A and B are shown apart, each in its own frame.
Chain A
Amino acid sequence: MTTLTAPPPVRDRQRRARPVVLILPAAILTAILMVIPIVATIVRVVASGGTGLTELFSLPNVGRVFLNTAGWTAGSVVGAIVIGYAGALVLQSARLRFAGLWRGLLMIPWIIPGVVGATVWRWTLSTDYGILNQALLDLGLIGEPVRWLSNPDVVLWAVALIQIWVTAPFVMLMVSAALTSIPAERFEAARLDGAGGLAILRHIILPAIRTTTGICVLTLAIWALNSFTIIWVATSGGPAGASTILPVLLYQAFQNGDQVLVSSVALVQVIIGGVLAVLFARTMRTDLEEQT
Chain B
Amino acid sequence: MRRSLGRASAGAGLWGTLAVLLVWSLAPIAVMIFTSFKKRADIFAVPVRLLPESWTLDNYRTVFTSSSMPHALLNSVIIGLLVAIATLVFCFSAGYALARFRFRAARPLALFILLGQVVPLTVLLLPVYQIVVSLKLSDTTIGVAFAHLAITVPLVTWMVRNQIAAIPYDLEEAAQIDGGSRFDAVSYITLPVCAPGLAAAGMFAFLQSWHEFLFASVLATSTASRTAPVALTQFASEFDVDWGATMAASVVLTVPIVILFVVMQRYFVAGLTGGAVKG
Contact = CB atoms under 8 A, between A and B. Distances in A.
B174 to A, nearest CB: 11
Interface in B117-171: 117-131, 147, 149-150, 153-154, 157, 162, 165, 169
Interface centre among B28, B46, B125 (most CB of A within 10 A): B28
Interface string B245-259: 011001001100110
Interface string A41-60: 10000000000000000000
| SS class, residues of chain A in contact with chain B | helix
B67 interface: no
Contacts, number: 258
Nearest to B236: A119
Given A129-B48, A269-B123, A26 B153 contact: yes
B27 A26 contact: no
A3 B101 CA distance: 7
A228 interface: yes
Interface size class on chain B is 35 or more
Interface string B107-119: 1011111111111
A3 to B, nearest CB: 6
Interface stretch (B15-23, B58-66, B188-196): B15-23
A120 B48 contact: no
A157 interface: no
Given A111-B257, A128-B46, A281-B115, A23 B127 contact: no
B31 A270 contact: no
B254 A129 contact: no
Given A124-B31, A226-B122, A233-B213, A106 B149 contact: no
Contact of B21 (A5, A22, A83): A83
B22 A121 contact: no
Given A11-B182, A27-B112, A129-B43, A37 B128 contact: yes
B127 A3 contact: no
A40 B127 contact: yes
A46 B50 CA distance: 55
A102 B147 CA distance: 36
20 contacts: A2-B102, A7-B176, A23-B97, A26-B90, A26-B91, A29-B149, A33-B124, A37-B128, A41-B126, A96-B14, A108-B29, A112-B254, A113-B257, A115-B253, A116-B253, A119-B232, A124-B27, A165-B28, A273-B118, A273-B123
Interface of B: 10-11, 14, 17-18, 21-22, 24-29, 31-32, 35, 43-44, 46-50, 89-91, 93-94, 96-98, 100-103, 105-107, 109-131, 147, 149-150, 153-154, 157, 162, 165, 169, 173, 176, 181-182, 207, 210-211, 213-214, 218, 229, 232-233, 236, 243, 246-247, 250, 253-254, 257-258, 261, 265
Interface of A: 1-3, 5, 7-8, 11, 15, 18-20, 22-23, 25-27, 29-30, 32-34, 36-38, 40-41, 83, 86-87, 90, 93, 95-96, 102, 104-109, 111-117, 119-124, 128-131, 133-134, 137-138, 165, 169, 197, 222, 225-226, 228-229, 232-233, 246-247, 250-251, 254, 259, 262-263, 265-266, 269-270, 273, 276-277, 280-281, 284, 288, 291
